[in-house]
Amino acid sequence: MKHPFHFKLQLAPFFPYLHPLLTPTFPRCLWTGDLSQPEICLTFDDGPHPDYTLALLKVLDSYQIPASFFWLGQSVERYPEIAQAVYQRGHWIGLHGYQHQSFPFLTEIELKNSLEKTQDAILKACGLEPKFVLDVRPPNGLFLPQTLTLLTSWGYRPVMWSVVPEDWVHPGVDVVTHRVIKQTRNGSIIVLHDGDHGGKDVAKTAEKIIPKLLEQNYRFVTIPKFWQSAKPVI
């Protein structure tokens, strides 16, 4: 049985070329921030993890860098104290579904339940209000127009990415770092992983890319800042 990441693995090498096509085609998704500002968003999927997330937090703490995390509901339920540690440091929290299941393969009821269970787990672990946990990143980056219609009708905000270095296949810290530095531009949303797939190198990777990006005078912000500059869809 192929791992669900198989789908993203096939698309990721071509994503820098697909991104300019996907962005205008699906304007309800957040793909980038303000292209005129040297602001970037560092995001992490699939956590929280008892080892990888805690190691990552130490790196983010040392540079005082805010990040955005998209969590699996089942992982939040397993490690609520780690979820709380992330939130208490001021990082932004979003949804990645209860399990790592591609949204188009779920029925409408299954998708709604997956998001609500994940949101409930985050609210319980972090003591948040529902209005602060509305950003959703589809697992594997897979969605259909109908998926977006459902998400927006339920009040969620779809968040994608623009820099995809394939850290989940473990090409090595240096390779991932090179890909991130090469692809990052004003407004970039960088996606890394702090879960079971890709998380083992995430702290070392963050330790390398953050100072390099700071040297290029980028400012690290979280997803809400990018929504402020997003053009409204009529």
Assign 40 to helix, strand or coil.
strand
In a domain, 16, yes or no: no
In a domain, 13, yes or no: no
In a domain, 219, yes or no: yes
In a domain, 11, yes or no: no
Supply the CATH number for residue 91's domain.
Answer: 3.20.20.370
Active-site residues: which are they?
45, 193
In a domain, 155, yes or no: yes
pLDDT confidence of residue 165 = 92
Which residues lie below 8 Å from residue 164, measured CB to CB, with a gap of 6+?
A: 8, 12, 15, 141, 191
Into how many domains does the chain fold? 1
pLDDT confidence of residue 14 = 56
Q: What is the pLDDT of residues 85-96, one digit of tens each?
A: 999 999 999 999
pLDDT confidence of residue 6 = 38
The domain of 147 spans 31-229
What is the Cα–Cα distance from 159 to 32, expressed in whole angstroms? 9
In a domain, 185, yes or no: yes
pLDDT confidence of residue 197 = 84
Flag residues of the chain having pLDDT under 70.
Answer: 1-27, 231-234
Which residues lie below 8 Å from residue 190, measured CB to CB, with a gap of 6+?
A: 40, 41, 42, 43, 161, 162, 163, 165, 180, 184, 209
In a domain, 5, yes or no: no
In a domain, 150, yes or no: yes
